[in-house]
Chains A and B, each alone.
Chain A
Amino acid sequence: MEEPPLREEEEEGDGDEVGPEGALDKSPSQLTAEDVYDISYVMGRELMALGSDPRVTQLQFKIVRVLEMLEALVNEGSLEAEELRMERDSLRKELQALRREGPSAGGEVSLGPDKMVVDLTDPNRPRFTLQELRDVLQERNKLKAQLLVAQEELQCYKSGLIPPREDPGRRREKDALVARTSNASCNNEKTIIKKLFFFRSGKQT
């Protein structure tokens, strides 16, 4: 997307030095309406010098027509070039704005290669720690284990494996158990958990 040097510069820079003939040396893509007029001036002068031969006059009409066509094409081209220039300028501005935003926004975000950005408006954003998840899972599994034990025991009662009425000796033992405070049931609970979770106790002890 290299742009040719601006037309205005060329005209101001070279125009005076080279004179009207200079227009003939220009690249077609850089030709302006002014250049076409310069060319027509030069050619008109040379045709005049050829005298008033009717063939010259005939040629002159054709040359004028060709120059008019060239003028139209050059005008059209410069209009398009102007539009493209404007578009380019606005894109450049946009790019600069993005470049300016980029590093500043990136500065807040890229704290390191292992960092992650969290959208605080996302209802599904991560917000609990691994430790919290671990705790919840442990509690879930503990309760699940207790439920299974309770279900098993219930099944035993239902199937008559454990008689609902027990002999006096065991009855006493049971009463004594109940009489003990919550501490006892707490210990009892611990043994059940311990039983099912010596997974962890193995690690901790």
Chain B
Amino acid sequence: MAKKTYDLLFKLLLIGDSGVGKTCVLFRFSDDAFNTTFISTIGIDFKIKTVELQGKKIKLQIWDTAGQERFHTITTSYYRGAMGIMLVYDITNGKSFENISKWLRNIDEHANEDVERMLLGNKCDMDDKRVVPKGKGEQIAREHGIRFFETSAKANINIEKAFLTLAEDILRKTPVKEPNSENVDISSGGGVTGWKSKCC
């Protein structure tokens, strides 16, 4: 049977307005690359990246959602299984920042109660076009008790840090479960059974 190449599987979700750079953030993390051409994500997509934290191989399955309103019924159905959600806005786009409360409400409505949330102010390389001060991002994150990073997928600022921090936060909450054998039943999803029982 298939051999497990990881210890834990974490499911993450990227949400936020269209054009804030969710796909680019993910692409930078998964492929360490950046593309300037804007191609709107159709519905939902995902990428896989395995990282090592505290001696554990953690497979991150990162779901990238379309920000456009017309896909919302599709994308919101993916909130439920997410263990971590990255809410991305664009520091050069005031509207995308204003909509944070709307996205947070979506999380409340559709995601697991104990989902780990994180706020990202992307495009921080474009300081000349900035309209959202860093302090405002920090403030709203503090108000909601979530972590905050300013990132740039283009300049590769804080991208890996953000993903690893989110994964660490999830790992901290994950019940310690030593695999009794190397060949853990893959259908159980490894050490994430605690999560699974929660959503069923």
Asked if A pairs with B, the answer is: yes
Out of A145, A188, A199, name the residue touching B78 (CB < 8 Å).
A199
Q: Is the CB of A134 within 8 A of B74?
A: yes
Q: Known contacts being A137-B74, A141-B45, A202-B196, is A192 close to B2, with CB within 8 Å?
A: yes
Q: Is the CB of A198 within 8 A of B196?
A: yes
Interface centre among B9, B82, B187 (most CB of A within 10 A): B187
Out of A133, A141, A149, A200, name the residue touching B2 (CB < 8 Å).
A149
Q: Known contacts being A196-B61, A198-B81, A199-B80, is A205 close to B187, with CB within 8 Å?
A: no
Within 35-89 of B, Cβ neighbours of A (below 8 Å) are at 42-46, 48, 61, 63, 73-74, 77-78, 80-82
Residues of B within 8 A of A205 (CB): 200
Distance in angstroms between the alpha carbons of A17 and B61 in the assembled complex = 99
Q: How large is the interface on B (under 10, 10 to 19, 20 to 34, 35 or more residues)?
A: 20 to 34
Asked if A1 lies at the interface with its beta carbon under 8 angstroms from chain B, I say no
Asked if A117 lies at the interface with its beta carbon under 8 angstroms from chain B, I say no
Residues of A within 8 A of B186 (CB): 191-192, 195
Within 3-19 of B, Cβ neighbours of A (below 8 Å) are at 3, 5, 9, 11
Give chain B nearest CB distance to A175 CB in angstroms. 13
Residues of B within 8 A of A7 (CB): none
Interface centre among B42, B45, B48, B80 (most CB of A within 10 A): B48
Total A-B pairs in contact (CB under 8 Å)? Answer: 59
Q: Is the CB of B42 within 8 A of A137?
A: yes
Out of A153, A161, A195, A200, name the residue touching B189 (CB < 8 Å).
A195
Residues of B within 8 A of A148 (CB): 48
Give chain B nearest CB distance to A129 CB in angstroms. 11
Give chain A nearest CB distance to B172 CB in angstroms. 21
Residue of A nearest to B44 (CB): A137
Distance in angstroms between the alpha carbons of A149 and B42 in the assembled complex = 23
Residues of B within 8 A of A134 (CB): 43, 74, 77
Distance in angstroms between the alpha carbons of A200 and B82 in the assembled complex = 10
Asked if B176 lies at the interface with its beta carbon under 8 angstroms from chain A, I say no
Distance in angstroms between the alpha carbons of A130 and B82 in the assembled complex = 22
Give chain A nearest CB distance to B14 CB in angstroms. 14
CB 8 Å contact bits of A170-203 with B (1 = contact, 0 = none): 0000000100000000001001101110111011
Distance in angstroms between the alpha carbons of A134 and B42 in the assembled complex = 10
Q: Is the CB of B3 within 8 A of A162?
A: yes
Give chain B nearest CB distance to A19 CB in angstroms. 77
Closest 7 CB pairs of A and B: A199-B81, A202-B199, A191-B187, A137-B43, A195-B186, A194-B187, A202-B81
16 extra interchain contacts, Cβ-Cβ under 8 A, other than A134-B43, A199-B11? A130-B74, A133-B43, A134-B77, A137-B44, A137-B74, A141-B44, A144-B46, A148-B48, A161-B3, A191-B186, A192-B186, A198-B189, A199-B63, A199-B80, A199-B81, A199-B82
